[in-house]
Every structure is written in structure tokens, then in C-alpha cells.
Structure 1
Amino acid sequence: MEQLRSRLEEVIMYLKPYLPIANSHVVNFITNNFWESIIPIDIQKEFDLKGAEFLFTNFWSDNPIPNSLTQFVTLSKQNYINSYPSNCYMKLDDVHNVLQSWGYISTNQSFNLKEFMCAKKMHEVEVMAKLVADFSKYAGIDIIVDIGGGKGYLSSLLALAYNFNVLGIDSQSINSEGARNRTIKFEKYWQSIIKKSNNFTETKTSLPIIKEKLNNFKEYYEKYSKKPIVVDNTYKQVTEYVTEHTKIAHLVQNEFKVNSKEDFALVGLHTCGSLATTCLKLFIESKNCLKLLINVGCCYHLIEEEFTVSPFWSDVENALNRNESYGFPVSKYLKDKQFELGRDARMCASQSPEKIFNSKDILNPTKPLFYRALLQVYLIQELGYDHNNRCHVGRLAHKCLTFNEYVHKAVKRLQIDIEIDDKKINELYDKYLIDYDRLKVFFILKQALAPVIEGLIIMDRLLYLYEQVCILMYIFVFFV
């Protein structure tokens, strides 16, 4: 625990001077003159001295020459999650090796679910389901609670493929009902799915292969004289807004009629915002009878942060903080420091720099950002808009060949009554074109900082668990 605290302190010392970069919204890059106000001086000077073309050509080369920009990225990488003590994190492949070292042989099953979900979702659900199944079986757990179950992708697979009793909890009834109907669709085609899958072991779930289209699940069950295999049996849904005070054990015991001594697993795939830390608080409460926690957090920008409120998003933050149950920081160590990140920094933490750095593509992601930043200049010049006034334009830039076309579509979408002077727009674009290259630098810096911030958020959660003196199985999983 002391090693983790020490490393957190080092990461904080590195990050603090650059938080203004992470917390600067790209919309205001030109209007607030971020280039001169927050970009490190050495990067500014090198940009002015050697030019943008040299800077980017060198940065994207296979063997870049060390300069201010490459050094910034290199130093940031030294503060990513793999810089923390080795006992604080583990790669996914190594997790299964650990199970094997404990004498447990992992399941080796794969599925063909492409008809039910996109490739990204299919990958996430399959990997997560296997992980949950392996650790639950090792821990002797039969009942799994899926927090924020959403459409029930993970829950239904755990019930159908791995024969667990699963309780899906979601705050919206439309999701609970959707999860139920989607699972029924899974049941309908389950035999077809497993016949197309690799290394799949037949389970107790047995349903006919139905190729005809039926209007609804009731018609299906009536026609084939079948009863649901997992729906309302081993897989149940509850609609409830989960807080740290939710009585998880009571919900499970009520649905599955188990005794008060049985332990459960608490899992969550994409637990949004502070729901991830709510799961930690539920886990450490002994009355909840939770033995295993596997959690994949997301949407860091929706975390309720205790020591900061962004004026730009004050309406959102005030609504989120109404319960004063904060999601960052949660460790006593960072609480005592009253450490703050800021909403845009947390938004930044959700970015994946590998996509940019590996593809060596800087034009595609920055064109929309430059168009939006330049549109802000135009709106303020023409209408006197305060730069804090939020104008949601949406994803227009990729559909526009020119900035001129973008302005026309944006003004129409914003329903602004203004006569557009195309000549003025073109002159504006030419005047601020230098800021496009500057914005590319700004974008790279934010991308480089993203994993630093995400690692800090995650390690704050881990330290919180250590501080509770928990003996636990706790896994952070990242999908790439």
C-alpha cells in the first residue's frame, strides 16, 4: 500500500502542471488563446523555429529524433498504469495464467454472436463472460449480480452458456424489459449459436433451432410448448437505482430464495461514471455477502467529483452531486489532499491514444476539432456569444468538404437567424489556418495525458480497497 501511495504522489507531481491542458476544451482553443496560455514554452518555441511540418514528420517517423513534443509523450508514457507497482495491475492474458497457477483450468469456449451485437460489443461480452465465469467457478459462486446490466448482453450469456443464476439490475425499466426480450431471442437461436461456435461444451440449455419468424416470444413458447430456460428462472431482472446503500443481498435472496449465508459475485461491464465506485462501496459492505468483484468502469466525465465543479458544466455537476456521493477521489490518501481533476480532464481520460499513435493519423481526428474551434470564433464575432455558452453542433465536419459548408450546416442546425457571408468565412479560415497545426499539437498533448489520468483514477479505486483492509479478488479489465 505504501508503494502505491508513493507512486500516486509521483504521478500527481507530474500531472498537476499539465492539468490546464487536460481541462481545456478544444472549442475554445482559438478564442481563449490556449496556444500561448497553456502549451509548454519549449514546444511553442520549437514549433515556431522548425515549423509544423518538421514537428509532425519527426513525431510520426519510426525513429523520431528527441525533441520537445516527443519528450512530452515519452514522459507521459512513464506515468501510465504500467508504471505502478507490479502487484497493482495485471494484463488480461496473465490473469488466466494466475488461475492456472492456483490449480484452476480456465474454460476455452468461444461463440458466434455477430447476429446479436456488433464486433466490439461481442468481443467485450465474450471476454468479460469468460473472466467472470472462471473466477466465479474458482470461488465457488453460483449467483452473479450484474450491476448496470443494460440490454443484458453479459447477463444472458452468463446464464445461457455458463449456467449461472444471474440478477441483472438496471435503473431504467426499458433496459430491464429490453434485456428480458433480448435473452428470449438468445434462447430461440441458442442451439444454432453453439453449433457455429468453437470449442463449445454442450450445456443443460436445450432449445430447438427455429428458423421461422414469429411475432413475439409468447407465440414462440406457445407454438413449441416450451417454457423459458433462463428468463425468469436463472436470469432475472430488477429495476432499481443503485446507490452505496442498496441492499444487494436482500435483492438476491428475494429473487432466488437462497439462504443468508450464500455469497455472490458483483460484476459490471461499463459501469458508468460513479457507479464503478458505488460497486466498490457495495463490495466492502459485509451485509451484501459479496465475495467477488469484477468491474469495468467507463464514462469518467460523469463521475461526481468532490473537490471541483466546472462552471462550464455547472448545471450537469449540480444535478449529479445532489446525493453528495462522490466517485473521485475515493481513497483517503487523495481525499486528504483534496485532489481534483476536473470534468474535461476526466473526459480526456476516456480517450485511447493508441488509436492515434499507432495509426499515425492526425488529420482525421483533428479536422472536426479545428472546424468547431473556428466556428466558435465566427459565432462570437457575429453574435457576441459568450465562449461559455454551449452550442451543440454535433458531428458535422466529416460530412463537409469545406469549412464554408460546415458553417452553413452548423448555423442551420443551431437555428441561428444570420446572413452568412461566404467571403468572410473563407477569409476567417485563411487567417486562422496556422491554428490548425497548433491545435494538432494540443491534441497530441491531450492524448498523451489521457492514460496518465485514467491510471490515476483507477489506482485511487484500488488504494481505496486496500485502505478497507479487504482480502478480495478485484480485477480491472481494459479492452483494446
Structure 2
Amino acid sequence: MMAFNDLHIVAVKKKIDEVKHFLSISLSISNAHTVDFYTRGVWSTFISVSPEDVLCAISSTQDSTGALEEKENTTFGFCNASKKLLDISALLRAAKAHCLPGLGVCMQLEELMHNLRLMCGDTAAGQSSNKVLAPDEFMNWKKAHEVQSMSEVVASLAKCCRVKQVIDVGSGKGYLCSYLSMRYNLQVFGIDSSTTNTHGAQERNRKLKKFSKAYQQHRFIENNCVQSNDESREHYNESDGSKNCITKQGVEAQTESSALSQQVTRDLLASNNAAECPLDPSDSDSGSSFLSLLALDVIEDVSLRVHPSKLSAEERERRKRENLERKAREGKRKDSNSSLFSPLTSYVTAETELKTLITELENAVLVGLHTCGDLASSSLRMFRAKQELRAVCSVGCCYHLLSEEFDQDRPGCTSDGVCGFPMSQYLKDQACFCGRNARMSACLALERVSAGGGLPMESLFYRAVLHVILQDHYDCFKSEKRVGNVYSKATSFADYVRRALRKLDLDESKLSDGDIQSYHDRYTPRMNEMVAFNMLKVTLAPCIEGLILLDRLCYLKEQENVSHAALVQLFDPLQSPRCYAVVGIKKSTD
């Protein structure tokens, strides 16, 4: 293979050091609890300027550019003595310099595709001469954008590594699997831990097969219309004087295929109402309420997939038996009704024996499109450990679900001590950790907020003031965990508080509506503090994400059997906030 212009591991470690140093100063803001904003005096604890100054600086594009100049006795805008933020402009410039674009560590998608074409000696690598279908014809615009961009990279990786199989971990509804199979003629195995997702993928697979047949038939008629002396007729287009050759059979088939494709498209879009990883409205404890209250258009999706620790041994065995039985049936069938791809239900780790799960497995490319939490880390470990996996393209999400090895407040590693962060030996040796609140902040979408998406501040404000009420009137306020999404049902602040108290099984008769409203009136003038503070969290989000992704890149570069590794921006961040892919290629075994 020719040289791949990816970043050297020494340069990666240097960038990691830069981000880590910046976050060692600024991470306290991201780790602050929004729920505790008023009960713990968060603003006065961390900030020494007014909320108006913060919002003004953030709204000014001029203040976020220029050299990193520090005022005396400050670091990145924070006072060296008090650790409070003094210089907003300095912080904004530093945040911009320490996110992935500012660090200059990402390979451009065009450069990646060019390198892959050179490596496989084909300038057309990753391109399909006969387009089967456009993805936006059977999925929403966001998913279509993601699937089309990622599938081109995956197809190029498969061609370079001379493989015809793809394994999609956390395959969900199977959109990427189906598209890779239909457009690029790859054999795809989709693995998901959710039985619901697997069954849904099988049904969608059936509908997509109808769509594909109709679409190909329609294109065949368009591209192969020829005149025949006894079966054709000339059709004259009066509007432009052009002539089109259409056979009688062709007209009937075209009408039939068009109607079928339209019906299948309607069925597919109707089944696409739910998000791939919908937000869990019940997940609103003191550590996650900030995320659970945010609007879906300014955060990434949150997985509802069942964690393996919650599966009984009987359930795991049942899923394994179900997969083997299904594979046996498919092996006997081998007819025209076989699936476009093979969906499997299983929870996978680096120790999973893929050849037991997939009996016909050969060399393959491993992919993951928005793999949640530790699954992204597990897939990279699997890529390193399994010789049959020749390349990987992984886009992670749901950073708040990552387990951290060195977070003493929230130990969450698996029984064998394998954690989602850090992965690289370089950061392990430094005992690096972020903290759950910071990882939740990393889920925020800076580009969307900057483009006017905004934050649902009233719901966050209600939740923080509720916490003041719980502190003042209920002894058990520290142990309360789940308030849930009561805001969407509430008609007023008083109604919100009463719904929350009932949800927490607390006596609401202690407070009158006037008592409750008095808290709202008291803290309303301070709502701008919360707005400004959360905007600072949004500003720091890309830097936390950058550290997590640089750790994964460094991990791949530490492996002796990996020849190339790079970070690539695959998607438009306005359409898909989790837009970065970790791409890796194994050393050749020839």
C-alpha cells in the first residue's frame, strides 16, 4: 500500500497534551450540575463577571478570533489564584483553538477518499457506476446524509482491503446495512443488542427489497428503451419536440414499478418517525437532568439499548440460539427471497467470537454509525483483536454513557476492568478522566446553537428552582433521582412543581400555589446567569469531544497491527452534530 498521509503518533500526543492542559483549567464549568445551579451558587463559585458580559462576548464573532494573549495572573481567562473566570474573550479564543478544527488534527474527507483511491490503484474507488437508489428516498434527511457519506468511505475501505463483507455493530434499524448491500453489493451483517431493533430491521429489509426491485426495474426501463418494429411505438413530446421510445410492456412495467416504489417509500418513511436513539425522558437524575431537558435539535440522540449487565444468562443464550437457528434456515433457503443483509441480535465486546456468531465470516470491514457509549470503544478494541477485521470506520455518540476508568465518583467499568475512556495507554498512564457532567456537556451541538437553535432555558430554570424548593421544604431532596419529563405536560411553574412532587412521592400539601410562585418570582431575575453559564458549557463541548476522539485515535496508532489511522469529519455538523469518524486500516497480511 502507498503511504497514507495521517498524523504521526507523536503529533497526536502533543495535541492531546494541549487539550488536556486547557481542560484542566476550564473543565470545572462543564462538570458543574445545572440542577444545583442555585442551591450551590454555581455562578458566583466559577464566574467573576456579569452574565451580560458573557453573553455579549459569546455573541461577538470578533472576540473569538486572534492570538491567545493572556492577562497577568490568568490562564485561558481564569484567575490563577481564585480559579474563577475573569476574561471571557480569552476563554472563547482558547476553546476555539482546542477543538478538533482548531487543532488541525482531522483529515479532510476529500483527502481520505483520494488516499484510498491511490492505495487501491483505482481513481473510481468508492463510486458506484449503477446507482441503485438515493438514500433520501427511504429515510429522513439527517439519516440519508449520514448513510450516503459513510457508505462511500466504507465501500472504499472494502475495496482497498479486498473484502466483500461488512459488520455493522449497533446497526439499529439497518439503514446503513441496507444501503451498503444494495448500492455497493457488499455482504453486510448488522449486529444490535436490541431485539426490537433487529426485528424492525428485518421488516424494513423486506420493504427495501421491494423498493430496490422496483427502483432497478424503473431504471432498467429508462436506460434500455429501444425501438422494436413489432412491439414499439413512437411517443412524441409536444412540449419540446423530443421523441422517446416506449414499448407497450415497458409502459405497463414502468407504471407498476413506480406505484410499488411510491408505496414502499411511504411505508418506510412512516416507520421512521422515532429517532434512532430516542431521548429517555425518565433519565433526569442530578447528573443527567441538564441533558434530558435539552431540545432534541441541540443534542445528540441517547440510546435505549439494553446494557448486557441487565440481561440474564438465559436471555443471552436465547439470543445466541435464535441467531444460530436463523442462520441455519437462511443457509437452507439460499433462494431469491434471502435478505438484503443479515440482522443479528447480540451484545458484542472485543472478546466476542465473531466466527461463532457469523459462521460464513471472511475478512471484513467493521463499521459503527453513532455507536452509543462504550460500544464505540469496544468496536475499536474488537478491530484491534480480530485479524479478520481489516478496516474500521467508527462514529461514536452518547459520550455521557461512557464508563471512565479513573472517575472515582462514578466507577462504571465492566467486571473485567475494561472502560470506555481512556483507551490509549498514553492517557491511561496519566490517569486521565473527564467526569460524567463534562461528558454530558460534550453531547451539546455548538454549531446548532450558534445557528440559532438555542437552549430550552425555561425547562432548565424550572428544574433548578425546583431543587431549591426541595432543599428548603423536604429533607429527602438529596436522594431524589427521577423527576422525569414533567415540564412538557405542565401548564405553569406551580403545576410543574406539583407534578414533580407527586412523581417523587412527596407531600405537595406543604406548599400553596402562592408559596411555589414566590420561588419563581425570586429567581426569575437570575435566569440570565443560567443562560450565560450553559452557553459556556456549549462553547467547551467540542473540546471535551476532541479529547475523547483523540484518545481513540491515539489508541489505534499505538497498535502494531494497524498501519493507518485518522480522524475524519464525515458529516455536516449542522445536520449531524456527532460528525467525526475514527478510520483505521490493518497492516497487510500478504
Residues 421 and 278 (structure 1), Cα distance of their counterparts in 2 relative to 1, 3 Å cut: same
Following the alignment from structure 2 to structure 1, what is the Cα–Cα distance between the partners of residues 117 and 482?
53
Post-superposition offset of 1:297: 0.8
Which residue in 1 is equivalent to 2:228? none
Deviations 1:374-411 (A, max 9, x none): 111112222223335313332625x6564334324433
d(CA) in 2 for partners of 1:229, 1:473 = 39
Map of 2:159 onto structure 1:
137
1:266, distance to aligned residue in structure 2 (A): 0.6
Judging by fraction of residues, say which structure has more helix: 1
- For residue 222 of structure 1, what is the aligned residue in structure 2? none
Asked if the contact 2:38–2:464 (Cα under 8 Å) also holds between the matched residues in 1, the reply is yes
Q: Which residue of 2 aligns with 1:12?
A: 20
**Partner Cα distance (2:404, 2:563) in 1:** 27
Instruction: Find the aligned partners of 1:412 and 1:386 in 2 and give their Cα distance.
Output: 13
Partner of 2:564: 472
Aligned partner of 1:259 in structure 2 is none
The equivalent of 1:293 in structure 2 is 392
Q: Distance in 2 between matches of 1:183 and 1:124?
A: 19
Query: Counterpart of 1:322?
Result: 415
Q: In structure 1, give the amino acid aligned to 2:555.
A: Y
Give the corresponding residue for 2:275. Answer: none
Q: Structure 1 stretch 89-98 or stretch 454-463: which is displaced more?
A: 89-98
State the partner residue of 2:343: 237
SS at match of 1:27: coil
CA distance in structure 2 between the aligned counterparts of 1:367 and 1:70, rounded to whole angstroms: 27
Q: Quick check: 1:255 aligned with 2:360?
A: yes
Query: Contact 1:125–1:154 at 8 Å: present in 2 too?
Result: yes
Match of 1:182, SS? helix
Unaligned ranges ≥5, structure 2: 1-8, 66-85, 225-255, 268-333, 574-590
Residue 396 of structure 2 aligns to which amino acid in structure 1? Answer: G
Aligned to 2:366: 266
Matches of 1:327 and 1:293 in 2, distance apart?
Answer: 17
Provide the C-alpha distance between the structure 2 equivalents of 1:57 and 1:19, rounded to a whole number of angstroms.
22
Code of the residue aligned with 2:58 in structure 1: it is F
Give 1:89's match in structure 2, choosing from 92, 101, 106: 106
Equivalent position SS for 1:70: helix
Please point out which of 377, 381, 393 is paired with 1:277: 377
In 1, are the aligned partners of 2:181 and 2:187 still within 8 Å (CA)? yes
1:292 match: secondary structure: strand
Instruction: Say if 1:110 and 1:126, in contact at 8 Å, map to a contact too.
Output: no
Residues 296 and 477, structure 1, Cα contact 8 Å, conserved in 2: no
Which segment drifts farther, 385-394 or 183-192? 385-394
Using the TM superposition, give the Cα deviation of residue 61 of structure 1 relative to its aligned residue in structure 2, in angstroms: 4.0
The answer to whether the 8 Å contact 2:557/2:564 transfers is no
Q: State whether residues 132 and 215 of structure 2, in contact with CA within 8 Å, keep that contact through their aligned partners in structure 1.
A: no
Larger radius of gyration: 2
1:76 and 2:95 aligned: yes
Q: Report 1:151-170 matches (<5 A).
A: 151-170=173-192
Question: Aligned match of 2:43 in 35, 39, 46?
Answer: 35
CA RMSD of aligned residues (A): 3.2
Contact 1:23 1:342 (C-alpha < 8 Å) held by counterparts? yes
Q: 1:442 to 1:63 in 2, by over 3 A?
A: same
Q: Which amino acid aligns with 1:389?
A: E
- CA offset at residue 475 of structure 1? 5.2
After TM superposition, the structure 1 stretch with the greater mean CA deviation from structure 2, 119-128 or 103-112, is: 103-112
Q: Percent identity?
A: 32
Opposite residue 322 of structure 1, the aligned amino acid is: S
Is the contact made by 2:192 and 2:345 (CA closer than 8 Å) also made in structure 1? yes
Q: Is the 8 A contact 2:218 2:257 kept in 1?
A: no
1:54 positional shift: 5.4
- 1:187 to partner: Cα distance: 0.8
Distance 1:163 1:344 in 2: 43
Structure 1 423/25 Cα, relative in aligned 2: closer, same or farther at 3 Å? same
Equivalence for 1:23: 31
1:417 to 490, 499, 507: 507
2: CA distance, partners of 1:129 / 1:395: 40
1:126-163 Cα offsets, whole Å, 9 max, x none, are 22222212221233210111111122111111112211
1:52-106 residue CA offsets vs partner (Å, 9 max, x unmatched): 445434532454599832332221111011244x5x4223344334345554324
Aligned to 1:220: none
TM-score norm. by structure 2 comes to: 0.67
Alignment partners' CA distance in 2, 1:289 and 1:55 = 52
**SS of equivalent to 2:392:** strand
- The corresponding residue for 1:435 is 526
